[in-house]
């Protein structure tokens, strides 16, 4: 069954010579070949300011570029987020984008004092794809996949998105052509499955 899928490219360099871009392209090609509807948000191509206060986060009006991204996310059944691991976490540009997008009124409802937030993005699933220089098992087991878990639980899960699956691709700079092709093929398969 065809899905509405939004790919969020979180690499802060818009040059498409990065493996994150190749992975997202392979996913999109697989999805489109299976009849899924694809929209792409390339964070590096969007102009938006940083949020600098709680008041701005809670009550500020998102810029048009962010409202457009929110509309795409709202209409999606499945989200696929790509980013490289930088200094053990997501790049600052990608984090700033997520802060702009997943704010009260869009991701969760305003809560009355003492009442829990209402999750506004339920019914959506997601996959997170992270590339990194270290071995993926070191990131997962020694560093406890900190930025992955934060994105999965504290951002996506907090607003009701789930289940969330993940793909970690380690030793990115030393992958040979055969290994890269295997990963691209895997992304294409995930795309065709809408997974």
DSSP 40-98: EEEGGG---PPP-SHHHHHHPPPPHHHHHHHHHHHH-SEEEEEEE-BTTB--HHHHHHH
- Give me the pLDDT at residue 14, please: 83
Q: How would you write the pLDDT of the chain (195 residues) with one tens digit per residue?
A: 899 999 999 999 987 689 999 999 999 999 999 999 999 999 999 999 999 999 999 889 999 999 999 999 999 999 999 999 999 999 999 999 999 999 999 999 876 666 667 899 999 999 999 999 999 999 999 999 999 999 999 999 999 999 999 999 999 999 999 999 999 999 999 999 999
Task: Note down the domain range covering 178.
Answer: 4-193
155: CB partners within 8 A, 6+ apart:
98, 102
- Give me the pLDDT at residue 15, please: 77
**Under 8 Å between Cβ of 45 and 76:** no
**Domain count within the chain:** 1
**C-alpha torsion 72→75→81→87, nearest 10:** 60
Q: What are phi and psi of 89, to 5 degrees?
A: -150, -170
Please give the structure tokens belonging to residue 186: 């895997």
Q: Classify each residue of 168-191 as buried b or exposed e, where b means 16 or more C-beta atoms within 10 Å of its C-beta.
A: bbbebeebeeeeeeebbebbbebb
Q: Which of 130, 122, 110 is nearest to 172 (CA)?
A: 130
- Give me the pLDDT at residue 5, please: 98
Q: How many residues does the chain have?
A: 195
**CATH of residue 64:** 3.40.50.360
Looking at residue 157, what DSSP letter applies?
G
Pairing of strands 4-9, 37-42: parallel
- Give me the pLDDT at residue 17, please: 84
CA–CA separation, 131 and 116 (whole Å): 35
- Give me the pLDDT at residue 68, please: 98
């Amino acid at each position: 069954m065809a899905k509405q899928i939004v790919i969020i490219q979180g690499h802060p360099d818009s040059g498409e010579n990065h493996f994150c871009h190749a992975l997202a392209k392979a996913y999109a090609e697989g999805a489109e070949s299976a009849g899924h509807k694809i929209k792409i948000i390339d964070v590096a191509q969007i102009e938006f300011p940083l949020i600098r206060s709680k008041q701005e986060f809670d009550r500020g009006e998102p810029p048009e570029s962010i409202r457009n991204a929110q509309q795409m996310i709202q209409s999606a059944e499945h989200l696929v987020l790509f980013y490289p691991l930088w200094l053990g976490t997501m790049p600052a540009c990608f984090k700033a984008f997520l802060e702009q997008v997943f704010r009260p009124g869009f991701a969760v409802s305003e809560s009355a004092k003492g009442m829990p937030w209402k999750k506004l993005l339920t019914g959506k699933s997601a996959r997170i794809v992270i590339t990194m220089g270290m071995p993926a098992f070191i990131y997962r087991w020694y560093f406890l996949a900190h930025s992955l878990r934060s994105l999965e639980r504290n951002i996506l899960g907090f607003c009701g998105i789930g289940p969330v699956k993940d793909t970690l691709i380690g030793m990115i700079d030393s992958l040979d052509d055969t290994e890269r092709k295997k990963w691209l093929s895997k992304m294409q398969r995930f795309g065709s499955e809408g997974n």
